[in-house]
Chains A and B, each alone.
Chain A
Amino acid sequence: MKVDIILAGVGGQGILSIASIIGDAVLSENLFLKQAETHGMSQRGGAVVSHLRISDSEIASDLIPTGSADLIISVEPMESLRYLPFLSSNGYLVTNTTPFENIVNYPDINDIIAEVKKQPHFVAIDADKIAADLGNKRVSNVVILGAATPFIKITPEKIEAGIKRIFGRKGDKIVELNLKAFKAGLEFALKNS
């Protein structure tokens, strides 16, 4: 068993939280994990990416070779396209559809979504709207995680347990909110993939 995941977004959007939830679930499964992160200058509003590799045998490279990722999880639509060279031909692209426009030459969002929809396997979800409907836009990253879960090869229950552990110290309310966000994303993906 192996799952190679590219996590994409903009510095500050919370892709590392997604990584730590998956990481926690992976550890509880006795699997191997390697996760390469972007630190430093790019964290200031630049493009950030994390390579997350899960396997039942020892993992060699910290980086995923091109054309072999099983999944791209992106919290920002244009960022989801930046890493397409990593995606395997039967891999899935799961992305938020709400753009993060902190550059003056951000392309037309309709053109971005059209590119996403050209992919053979994709889930395009307006995670910001779902999160806002749940009461807090900040959980949109966990909505995306929910939408990606059918393709991670780890049961939703294990990931929910990860959410409980990661957010546990922030109180029950935050945990509940994140679990709701997770379920909303998961349901969307099951209906729309």
Chain B
Amino acid sequence: MHKNLLLGVEAIGQGAIDGGISGVYAYPGTPSTEITEYIQANEITKEKGIRSKWSANEKTAYEAALGMSYAGKRTMVCMKHVGLNVAADAFMNSAITGINGGMVVTVADDPSMHSSQNEQDSRFYAKFAMIPVLEPTNQQEAYEMTREGFQLSEDLGVPVMVRITTRLAHSRAGIKRKEVIAENDLILPSNPSQFVLLPAIARKQYKGLLDKQYLFEQASEDSKYNSFTKGTDKSLGIIACGITHNYLAENYKDDECPYSILKLSQYPIPGKLLAKFEDCCEEVLVLEDGYPIVEEAVKGIFKKDMKVSGRLTGALPRDGELNADLVALSLGKEVEKTVSIPEIVTNRPPALCQGCGHMDMYDALNEAVNVYSKGRVFSDIGCYTLGALPPYKSIYSCVDMGASITMAKGASDAGLIPAIAVIGDSTFTHSGITGLLDAINDKANVVIVISDNEAVSMTGGQESSAVGKIESICEGVGVDPAHIRVETPMRKNHDKMVQIFNEEIAYDGVSVIIFRRDCIQVLAKRKKIKPVSLK
């Protein structure tokens, strides 16, 4: 009987604990957040003292994890797909340094952009860095791959990526656990220059990475997660990557699939297994959630000239996550006839919570900037991004973590004055501080609003690295203390807030306005009361 009903992300958290980690490093980001939360709340974490506090951003998290690996311990770093962009410098170079203690890089992609600004596929990053990827089909594999990932990393000498998507991340199923593997001892790398990427050493290390590629491919050939099932009908063969294997299976619940199937859950693509598959089909359909990375790759590997279809050919949609229906259609199967959604049903987008301080901030901001032409407010990633929607329609950008300050600065440099940035407290410490430094050094004319709710709220109210530090950071970076303004965003303070905006817009220099009030959700959790519903 299945006893542990776990989300895919929780299964990964459990896998890491059972795989013998000494520390997990992460910055919250949907759909990856609950991996770290699960580890933080786990009894074993407390007993063993597994390090699990949130990092300031994905880059600091990645580097700290690499440091733990250097010291010989097993470690995991987790992030959402766009978080890997932030950590990319460390990520790419860690493939060249290699690891000492086993290191798993867990990246949760978000095809269909449920909670993200793009749907980039992290398998591309892994290919770019030339490291192996484990892509679980289901929650049990997510658990086992993570648990075994540390050993694989130690065997191959590089970080190993576990790549999941939102669907698996946030779906629950029963998990069978295995025993907990003991932590590694503290032991330094046998080669003292392994982590010193001076050009002369880096060239050698890079050759080493290239030389090891065949080992990575051999690991994929031998992997129990990759399998070839020979079919009876040679007219088609199907490559099913990760979770898409479930969608294929859903379409053959009652009868055997007549086609040969290559289940692909560990990369690089195993050439020998692929050749076996190639011999058993005349045409190939590739199912993959994300970019058409396998579809493109196999065309160059197959020996015979074979038609390959998938997302690139239109057999499947080019964007968005797959499902059993889309897979059915790509196989020429019929899907159930269904009724359509009645026309009366309207969209219900997410909204700021009743009583949220961001609302008061936007009310004051709108009043202050309404006297100017539109298009002057640059924003960032967080709950306050909802200020782009009615009734506020206040902001004109949301690009990446920290971009509000730097884009406002650039626009101001171009002559757009006033230019205003709206950023959250946690986003500010994640990636806003260096942008503020640029603004100071360039004496830019910008107004920066830090809408501070003392939590990482969009992802569920995690502890913010910024708590208690924002004013001193701004001063330290060089903001004139007379232009660091602090106010509580509340209805009764509206006029005062508008006045602060007016005064700081009039100032030709860098102003920081900190509107600080607790996140209403975090407050409710703390007080164990439910927030009032919107009516």
Binding site for B on A (CB under 8 A): 10-12, 23, 27, 30, 32-47, 51, 59-63, 65-68, 78-79, 81-82, 84-88, 100-107, 111-112, 115, 138
Q: Is the CB of B346 within 8 A of A78?
A: yes
Contact A62 B168 (CB under 8 A): yes
Q: Cα distance A101–B7 when bound, in Å?
A: 30
Are A12 and B533 touching (Cβ within 8 A)? Answer: yes
Contact A11 B171 (CB under 8 A): no
Is the beta-carbon distance between B344 and A44 smaller than 8 angstroms?
A: no
Residue of B nearest to A79 (CB): B348
Q: Mind listing 5 A-B residue pairs with CB under 8 Å?
A: A32-B2, A37-B172, A61-B324, A63-B167, A63-B324
Shortest Cβ gap from A166 to chain B (Å)? 12
Interface residues of B in 387-443 (CB under 8 A from A): 390-391
A99 to B341 CA separation, bound complex (whole angstroms)? 18
A67-B338 contact, Cβ under 8 Å, with A11-B350, A36-B167, A81-B344: yes
Contact B114 A33 (CB under 8 A): no
Does B174 belong to the interface (CB within 8 Å)?
yes
Inter-chain contact B344/A41, CB cutoff 8 Å = no
Residues on B with C-beta less than 8 A from A11 are 350
Pick from A23, A30, A61: contact of B323, CB under 8 Å: A61
B residues near A (Cβ < 8 Å) are 1-3, 5, 7, 30-31, 33-34, 114-115, 167-174, 243, 246-247, 249-250, 253, 323-325, 328, 335-342, 344-353, 383, 386, 390-391, 458-459, 530-531, 533-535
Q: Are A41 and B535 in contact (CB under 8 A)?
A: no
Complex contacts, A82 vs chain B, CB 8 Å: 341, 345
In the bound complex, what is the Cα–Cα distance between A14 and B136 (angstroms)? 29
Chain A min CB distance to B162 (Å): 17
Q: Does the CB pair A39–B348 fall under 8 Å?
A: no
Question: Within 8 Å CB of A107, what residues of B?
Answer: 344-346
Are A36 and B344 in contact, with the CB atoms below 8 A?
A: no
Smallest CB separation, B445 vs chain A (Å): 33
A85 to B325 CA separation, bound complex (whole angstroms) = 12
Judging by beta carbons under 8 Å apart, are B174 and A32 in contact? yes
Complex formed: what's the CA distance from A43 to B21 in Å?
A: 31
B173 engages A60 (CB within 8 Å): no
Contacts of B33 on A, CB cut-off 8 Å?
39
Contact check: which of B1, B3, B172, B348 meets A23 at CB < 8 Å? Answer: B172
Contact status B115-A34, CB under 8 Å: no
- The answer to whether A85 touches B342, judged by C-beta atoms less than 8 angstroms apart, is no
Assembled-state Cα–Cα distance A47/B383 (Å): 16
Bound complex: CA A35 to CA B10 (Å): 13
Q: Distance in Å from the Cβ of A37 to the closest Cβ of chain B?
A: 5
Contacts A45-B353, A85-B341, A138-B530 aside, 14 further interface pairs with beta carbons under 8 A come to: A27-B1, A30-B1, A35-B172, A37-B170, A38-B114, A39-B31, A39-B33, A45-B351, A60-B253, A62-B167, A63-B323, A81-B341, A86-B338, A102-B351
Q: Are B345 and A81 in contact (CB under 8 A)?
A: yes
* Cβ B325 vs Cβ A66 within 8 A: yes
Question: How near does chain A come to B13, taking the closest CB pair, in angstroms?
Answer: 15
Cβ 8 A contact of B383, one of A12, A44, A86: A44
The answer to whether A33 and B173 touch (CB under 8 A), given A62-B246, A100-B533, is yes
Give Cα A23 to B34, complex, Å.
19
Least distance between B218 CB and chain A CB atoms (Å): 30
The closest CB in chain B to the CB of A20 belongs to: B5
With a cutoff of 8 Å between Cβ atoms, the chain A residues found around residue B115 in the complex are 39-42
Shortest Cβ-Cβ A-B pairs, 8 listed: A67-B336, A40-B115, A40-B30, A46-B350, A60-B249, A61-B250, A102-B534, A62-B171
Kindly list chain A residues whose C-beta atoms are within 8 Å of the C-beta of B340: 84-85
Which residues of A lie under 8 Å from residue B247 when comparing CB positions? 60-61
C-alpha gap A104/B347 in the complex (Å): 11
- The distance in angstroms between the C-alpha atoms of A152 and B335, with both chains bound, is 24
Q: Is the CB of B5 within 8 A of A84?
A: no
B461 CB, nearest partner CB in chain A, Å:
11
- Cα distance A35–B390 when bound, in Å? 33
B336 touches A88 (CB 8 A): yes
Are A34 and B173 CB-contacts (below 8 A) given A61-B324, A66-B335?
A: yes
Chain A residues in 8 Å Cβ range of B3: 27
